Structure 1
């Protein structure tokens, strides 16, 4: 896929998928009304939101630059994406989206968003286990198995995986 097409597809998918899961649905649950809450936790939430958004945007860009595709299942990358934040964790987009939801829960003091995050986490884990990992194994074979053995799925490692030669 051309980079321009990949960039446009990734931008559309960014608005559609994370935009709904981490933006629209939390808004529908809370109308982003803030409840009285301990101020230092709000600041933790703000930091989490900023960091998670940076990771999410960088991970989407990585699909275009390195994978020549999109994160959308309808236009997957031509190459296995293993650079950037993918050197620390195999699922940085999912971790970032969950962090965005938890960040909003902390900023707004809305406990319903923690419950929502748990449901989203279960859905992500099921999708990764039953769909994405088998699809990646079929598409990239041993290359994916090597990557999977070296990089954790959900809890980022402290040191990045060394780049492949």
Structure 2
């Protein structure tokens, strides 16, 4: 009995360390990647100056604020899911050990990318900075290419049929109305 308790305790300890390392790695990557793409670059482009490109811009500012809040919530939740469910990070150098299919990933395969785009478009609307729409288009093209040419083949190699089943059931860019439930 004591030996099985010690084995269980050792397993829990290793699992907790993996989770802690995944959480720290995800936090660092959060600051670097989305922080740079959706924070630093928009600031460099606009210095976060508020402009009034058209009369009656206020309703669009409200929409932008909602996009910012939603994007941030989805991004934080998705990053946390990588650490908790996948025992890894979204960073290519420390990928998850398990395929992440819970939370927002039940609705769309790329919630982080959509969240980052929401943050950029939200800032464009809040600030009235039209240059951020052009930047969002460039980022969309980069994300799409990266997913198609790198991430999807890598996920197929790592997770095989499990990823193929998930990919067939959950759309990449336009969220499902109802969550996917894996069998």
Give TM-score scaled by structure 2 length. 0.88
**C-alpha deviation, 1:158, in angstroms:** 1.0
**Within 5 Å, which residues of 2 pair with 1:111-150?**
111-150=130-169
Q: Structure 1 residue 99 and structure 2 residue 115: aligned? A: no
Q: How many residues align?
A: 164
Aligned counterpart in structure 2 of residue 46 of structure 1, from 30, 54, 65: 65
Which of 88, 103, 126 is matched with 1:69 structurally? 88
Secondary structure of 1:82's aligned partner: coil
Whole-Å separation in 1 of the counterparts to 2:114 and 2:97: 23
User: How many Å separate the matches in 2 of 1:9 and 1:65?
Assistant: 12
Determine the C-alpha separation between the residues in 2 that align with 1:52 and 1:155. Answer: 15
Residue in structure 2 matched with residue 8 of structure 1 by the alignment: 24
Q: Which runs of 5+ in 2 are unaligned?
A: 1-16
Shift of 1:157: 1.0
Distance 2:178 2:95 in 1: 27
Task: Determine the C-alpha separation between the residues in 2 that align with 1:64 and 1:98.
Answer: 22
Give 1:26's match in structure 2, choosing from 33, 42, 46: 42
> How many angstroms does 1:41 deviate by?
0.5
Q: Among 100, 104, 108, which residue is 1:89 paired with?
A: 108
Q: Deviations along 1:37-61, whole A, 9 cap, x unmatched?
A: 5101000000110010000000000
Superposition deviation, residue 94 in structure 1: 0.2
Matched, 1:109 2:128: yes
- Quote the Cα distance in structure 2 between the aligned partners of 1:161 and 1:49: 25
Show CA shifts across 1:91-124 (max 9, x none). Answer: 0000000000000000001110000000000000
* Cα separation, 2, equivalents of 1:49 and 1:114: 14
Structure 1: runs of 5 or more not aligned:
none
* TM-score calculated relative to the size of structure 1: 0.98
Give structure 1 regions of 4+ aligned residues with deviation exceeding 2 angstroms.
Answer: none
